[in-house]
Amino acid sequence: MYLHSKNIYTPQGFQMGYLKIENGKIEGIFDEAPIGDVIDYEDKIIIPGFIDIHIHGWATGSFAHEGTVESVQNMSKELVKVGVTSYLATSGTNSIDEINRHLCQGRIAIDNWSPDKGAHVVGFHLEGPFINKEFKGMQKEEYCINPSIEILENFFGKAGKENIKLITIAPELEGAEEFIKYANKEDIQISIGHSAAEFEDIERLKDYGLGGFTHTFSGMRGFHHRRLGVAGAALYFDDMYAEFAKQTGMTVKPQAFKIAYKIKGPEKIILTTDCVGLAHVKETFYHYIRKCTFIPDGDYVKLLHDDGKEERINKNDYEKVKDFELGFLGSVKNVVKNVQASISDIVKMASENPAKYIGVYDTKGSIEPNKDGDIIVIDDEWNLLDVYVQGVKQNIQ
């Protein structure tokens, strides 16, 4: 299959030509009109698909709330509609049993995934349970525990060791140093998040394997000039990545993001959504940022807004639930508006950097020969026109 465009974005810049994808892989970009199927995108823009390394759930599926094979399959199916072609199913801080159950189910989804099923679930991100209660955010306090290699090995048994790509921990907790060293040896990326760490803790531990920061600025103290903390470390260390979850403007103000963007640049920022699949809460859940209580009700979810407004919504109806949270593409559009990010900037933050960060840049994150044919086609206003996962055209309606 060939996709033709005047604007194919590669790490060497924009190229014009015929992008050949065979057997799910990119073969290259060719100048001459080929014999065979060509889809002509004319002056539309072809870029690598987005990779969301921090997403618990989306629209009709929630790995963190439901923890079922189907929930992951639903995420895959819907994520392509917002430009995501691969992701890490992200667990929350929960009981070990519950996390293990989720990992087992997630692994089945991973093993049974095929490109006709939507976005590629390339593994897991464990957000906790090794985090600090003091900055639990929306994680469950009672399950925040110290880092434990034993528990991690237990997770390996359920998830498949190779599937655990990223773990968010609080490095000030007891046992963190050994844990970080161990994870590093196992090629698992470690992010700092939900943490009360001091700047000096991070300075001491980073070279053992602390690569970056989970939802930078959230789940940590503010930056202070005598106590820089996690936020200060995120701004200070040029070689560490700062993940920013969906840019709604509600959690991190656009101006705060812009400050971080000025310092880190697109080279060291990773865009994610941290979406949870709000329609699928299992218990009544108060969302303090949205000022709304979500109440599960069979196939429905009831929303009680602080302002008194009530809604009852079918949780399996994509059109009805897709606006519960800002999706990846919407977040990208906000970033473009806020910091005047170019296509190249966005590709770095949404595709290249996350792929490098979780160690899959050999197969994903850019349009280059021998990489997966994970491609999205956009116009110059970031409207999504087509999505391919390993060369398979997706249903994005």
Footprint on residues 244-283 left by a second copy (CB under 8 A): 251-253, 255-256, 258-259, 262-263
CB of 207 to a second copy, least distance (A): 16
3-state secondary structure of 256: helix
Which part of the chain contacts a second copy (CB under 8 A), choosing from 186-194, 224-232, 296-304, 384-392? 224-232
Longest dimension (CA), the chain: 65
- Taking residue 69's Cβ as centre, other Cβ atoms within 10 Å add up to 18
Out of 180, 228, 313, 339, point to the residue binding a second copy (CB under 8 A).
Answer: 228
Which part of the chain contacts a second copy (CB under 8 A), choosing from 57-65, 130-138, 221-229, 363-371? 221-229
Footprint on residues 190-219 left by a second copy (CB under 8 A): 199, 217-218
Residue 222 binds a second copy (CB under 8 A) = yes
CB of 263 to a second copy, least distance (A): 5
Q: From the candidates 274, 345, 372, 374, which is the catalytic residue?
A: 274
Q: Is 370 left (phi over 0), alpha (psi -120 to 50) or beta?
A: left
By beta-carbon proximity to a second copy, the closer residue of 181 and 258 is 258
By beta-carbon proximity to a second copy, the closer residue of 256 and 304 is 256
CB of 304 to a second copy, least distance (A): 23
CB of 305 to a second copy, least distance (A): 20
By beta-carbon proximity to a second copy, the closer residue of 165 and 194 is 194
Please report, as a single letter, which amino acid is at residue 196: A
CA atoms within 13 Å, Cβ hemisphere of 128: 28
CB of 238 to a second copy, least distance (A): 9
Decide if 276 contacts 325 (C-beta within 8 A).
Answer: yes
**362 part of the active site:** no
In sequence order, what are the residues at sequence separation of 6 or more whose Cβ sits closer than 8 angstroms to the Cβ of residue 213? 191, 192, 193, 220, 230, 233, 234, 240, 241, 242, 243
Ligand-binding annotation for 352, yes or no, is: no
Task: For 240-254, give the DSSP string.
Answer: SEEEE----SSSS-H
**In angstroms, how far is the first alpha carbon of the chain from the final one?**
22
By beta-carbon proximity to a second copy, the closer residue of 1 and 202 is 202
Residue 138 binds a second copy (CB under 8 A) = no
3-state secondary structure of 129: coil
By beta-carbon proximity to a second copy, the closer residue of 301 and 349 is 349
CB of 82 to a second copy, least distance (A): 24
CA distance 369 to 23: 12
Location of structure tokens 């110290």 = 146
The pair of three-digit structure tokens given for residue 262, joined into one six-digit string: 């000025």
Out of 144, 235, 276, 392, point to the residue binding a second copy (CB under 8 A).
Answer: 235
Which part of the chain contacts a second copy (CB under 8 A), choosing from 99-107, 129-137, 222-230, 385-393? 222-230
CA distance 90 to 63: 7
Decide if 192 contacts 222 (C-beta within 8 A).
Answer: no
CA distance 192 to 216: 9
CB of 98 to a second copy, least distance (A): 30
Decide if 18 contacts 2 (C-beta within 8 A).
Answer: yes
By beta-carbon proximity to a second copy, the closer residue of 162 and 306 is 306
Decide if 232 contacts 257 (C-beta within 8 A).
Answer: no
Ligand-binding annotation for 224, yes or no, is: no
Select from 219, 145, 213 the least CA-distant residue to 179: 145
The pair of three-digit structure tokens given for residue 359, joined into one six-digit string: 């160690």
Ligand-binding annotation for 127, yes or no, is: yes
Out of 236, 285, 300, 318, point to the residue binding a second copy (CB under 8 A).
Answer: 236
Residue 163 binds a second copy (CB under 8 A) = no
* Residues acting as catalytic residues: 274
Binding site for a second copy (CB under 8 A): 199, 217-218, 221-228, 231-232, 235-236, 251-253, 255-256, 258-259, 262-263
Binding-site residues for Zn(2+), in ranges, read 127, 194, 215
Binding-site residues, in ranges, read 127, 194, 215
